[in-house]
A and B are shown apart, each in its own frame.
Chain A
Amino acid sequence: MAIDPTARVPAAPTGAAGTSGNHDTPPGVGRPGSGSRREFLRFLGVKVSGAAVSLVLVLFSAFFIFRMIGGDPVRAIGGDAPMTPEQRAEIEERLGLNEPMTVQFWEYVRSLFTLDWGTSYVNNQQVTTLMWDRLPNTLLLTGTALVLAAGLGIWIGARAGWRPGSFFEKSQVGISLALWSAPTFWLGMIVIIVFSVQLGLFPVNGMRSGRGVADGFWPQFLDVSHHLVLPALTMAAVIYAQYVLIMRSSILEERGNDYLTVAKAKGLRDDVIRRRHAVPNALLPTVTLIALQFGAIFNGALLTETIFSWPGLGLLFYQAIRVPDIPLLQLLFVFFAGTTILANLFADIIYRFLDPRVRGTS
């Protein structure tokens, strides 16, 4: 999957690459100060156009991947019930499957602008409606998991990296690697069987209990929170590892830098040096790497929602695979990929504001 447990601080894959390896930064001049505004606009232009090209690539590949489809969409709609040739032709007509590929492609491009992505094969709803309905649930789950995993992971990772070779560091790296190696969906199954089936502490699946819960805000809130605990913890456990490992190696890179020696010489306490001096610097490369791993979050959401029947986009995608429901798959594919690309663009720009060194040199 997308998570690379060995991901390390940028520009140090195997040494030596130093001067020539950094292809992302356009060959510019190191002029801090003067003309920085123009340089920023140029930087913005490069990044935004790159993201735009990537988005166009996603839109095109969505069309071609889902037109290669092996299954028969008409049968997916009709189910196994016998069908007369007339009914078949009518469905093909409605879906535009009888048109030549070039016309279908033109229709597809036009639908991008009119935001009409077609109707689901299964329940005749607009696929965009389905998506917007489910989106908040996914945001709730991934947001909670992300905050948990990133907060705890960065905290633990910083402490582990500060004392290399200690028992704490070794055990935390071990735990992270083990969590990374566990399949998300399996972890979810084990968690359900222990905490829901055996101990009966949490609901087995879903997001709401339905009946038996009072209407007001607080009862509903508590009900959803109760359902949220296990899926959020499962998802957090799996993406947690990358934050620990990245933050740890990031801190390791900072150790031994002169400014830390100076801080020590000033007589600052050890954990003050770590918190106030090392961590802020180590966070910078972590931001980029976390943005690069953004796609992994969707991977995790897909598997977690499937196991827990959490009514979000991941479950919707899973249900669409089984049909296969092409318009829905196509829309969700574009949504997942597009969001990831935009998140990366955003991180690139933020990073420039966060790190003055990058502003000076690129």
Chain B
Amino acid sequence: MSGDGLNERSGRGEERAPSAEKAKAGARPINPSGDGLNERSGDRPTLKSGRAIAWARRRAALADFVRLYSKQRAGVAGLLVLIVITAATVFAPFYTDESELRAVNAPGGRLESPNSTFWFGTDEVGRSILLQVIWGARVSLQIGIVAAVLAVGLGTLIGMTAAHFGGWPSWLLMRLTDWFIVLPNLVLAIALVVALGASRFTIIVAIALTSWAATARLVRAQTMAIEGRPYLERAKALGAGHWHQMSRHVLPNLMPLILAAATLQVSSAILAEAALSFLGLGDPSQISWGTLLERAFHAGAISYGAWWYMLPPGLAILFVVLAFTLCGRAMETVLNPRLRGSR
């Protein structure tokens, strides 16, 4: 979605001239499911089936979203950074030599400072820092994204269940959610990784298990709001079961909110992965930004004054986390009219 959105946006910016219309469009709250149809139905007078109407509505909502998102300058900047970093990570095998990551193939000398061959210097066995940062992105981003998706998925499931069924299961689930919100989650994640053994898989599980709670609370509140709407009453009257109500009516309405939450969650997950790896709980066979910093710390980079060993991985984390945060905040602002103009 993000790639298309960018192209479309640059095209739209030019053709939108009349400022009165702009103001009007800006003031209209975006609603992923409703509205938008009336104004746009003039464009396509031959809507036939219910499905076509639904799709037209979704397209209109998406266009609205893209238009409003493109006004968030910080969000656009974050998106651009993410696109560049993703491209650099995906195409890494085409412009770098992976075999130089192994200590025996190290091309440089020990702890060389930045020079024309090694732009960011070398580590304690002579490997290029830049190369390791580029390849480390794969592990850090993968763990961050997978853990965030799992956490948000779990949070959505629990939040929806709690809101839909009510009664004592809901009470129980919300007590559990409160418990997880309150606990220091890095401490809990460390305990889990220590118990399960350090590997990429256990890190993902530990991060996901300790960070779903905020999403659950958000989703629960929003589900309760959606369930009060008349179309759900209609669906119930027509005999829709729990699954149908949830999957066809509630979840599509929650989706934008969930996407924004997931984007923000990625930044927390990347930070958590870095912290766990730094504490020596990372997968020893993998290079990630966190393990790079751990090695720098234990190889005595501080007392040696090898700033080039620590600066690149840390800045990489900072930029990626900031980019995800900016994107997530921009998405939230677009989705929540109350925040617009205030940030």
Contact = CB atoms under 8 A, between A and B. Distances in A.
B182 A70 contact: no
Interface residues of A, number: 75
Where chain B touches its partner, the secondary structure class is: helix
Interface string B315-333: 0011101100110110010
Interface stretch (A6-14, A212-220, A227-235): A6-14
B271 interface: yes
A4 B325 CA distance: 10
A329 B281 CA distance: 15
Interface stretch (B33-41, B58-66, B242-250, B296-304): B296-304
Interface in A258-316: 292, 294-299, 302-303, 306-307
A74 B257 CA distance: 49
B118 interface: no
B129 interface: no
B225 A69 contact: no
A336 B296 CA distance: 29
B25 interface: no
B185 A186 contact: no
B191 A329 contact: yes
Contacts of B278: 183, 185, 303
A337 to B, nearest CB: 5
A53 interface: yes
Residue in B214, B228, B319, B338 with the greatest tally of chain A CB atoms within 10 Å:
B338
A298 B194 CA distance: 18
Where chain A touches its partner, the secondary structure class is: helix
Contact of B264 (A6, A58, A324): A6
A328 to B, nearest CB: 12
Given A193-B302, A204-B302, A183 B271 contact: yes
A204 B264 CA distance: 35
Contact of A321 (B194, B271, B339, B342): B194
Contacts of A329: 191, 194
A197 interface: yes
Contact of A303 (B185, B275, B281, B335): B275
Contact of B302 (A20, A183, A192, A341): A192
Contacts of A336: 184, 187
Nearest to A55: B179
Contacts of A68: 195-196
Given A1-B275, A173-B343, A177-B326, A189 B310 contact: yes
A14 B228 CA distance: 15
A297 B184 CA distance: 8
Given A2-B186, A5-B325, A17-B221, A182 B337 contact: no
Given A1-B272, A14-B335, A66 B303 contact: no
B203 interface: no
Given A5-B325, A181-B325, A344-B182, A189 B187 contact: no
Contacts of B214: 4
B174 interface: yes
Contact of B187 (A6, A299, A306): A299
A6 B179 contact: no
B328 A54 contact: no
A340 interface: yes
Given A70-B195, A186-B314, A296 B322 contact: no
A57 B179 contact: yes
A191 to B, nearest CB: 10
Contacts of A178: 318, 322
A322 B178 CA distance: 30
A296 B338 contact: no
B224 A6 contact: no
A127 to B, nearest CB: 15
B214 to A, nearest CB: 6
B322 A177 contact: yes
A181 B314 contact: no
Contacts of A198: 305
A340 B187 CA distance: 12
A257 B324 CA distance: 33
A193 B335 CA distance: 43
Contact of A12 (B267, B290, B328, B338): B338
Contacts of B325: 5-6, 177, 180-181
Contacts of A13: 218, 221-222, 336
A155 interface: no
Contact of B224 (A17, A177, A190, A337): A17
Contacts of B221: 13, 17, 20-21
A79 interface: no
A184 interface: yes
B204 interface: no
A337 B271 contact: no
A65 interface: yes
Nearest to A187: B314
A337 B178 CA distance: 13
Given A1-B272, A14-B257, A295 B175 contact: no
Contact of A50 (B175, B264, B328): B175
22 contacts: A1-B271, A4-B268, A6-B329, A15-B336, A17-B224, A20-B221, A23-B174, A57-B179, A70-B194, A70-B197, A177-B326, A178-B322, A181-B271, A181-B318, A185-B278, A186-B314, A189-B293, A189-B301, A189-B314, A192-B302, A298-B187, A344-B182
Given A17-B225, A20-B225, A174-B74, 12 more contacts: A4-B214, A15-B336, A65-B191, A71-B197, A183-B275, A183-B318, A189-B302, A190-B307, A190-B314, A197-B302, A249-B343, A299-B275
Interface of B: 74, 174-175, 178-179, 181-188, 190-192, 194-197, 214, 218, 220-222, 224-225, 228, 257, 264, 267-268, 271-272, 274-275, 278-281, 290, 293, 296-297, 301-303, 305, 307, 310-311, 313-314, 317-319, 321-322, 325-326, 328-329, 332, 335-339, 341-343
Interface of A: 1-6, 8, 12-18, 20-21, 23, 50, 53-54, 57-58, 65-66, 68-71, 164-165, 173-174, 177-178, 180-187, 189-190, 192-193, 197-198, 204, 249, 252, 292, 294-299, 302-303, 306-307, 317-318, 321-322, 324, 329, 332-333, 336-337, 340-341, 344
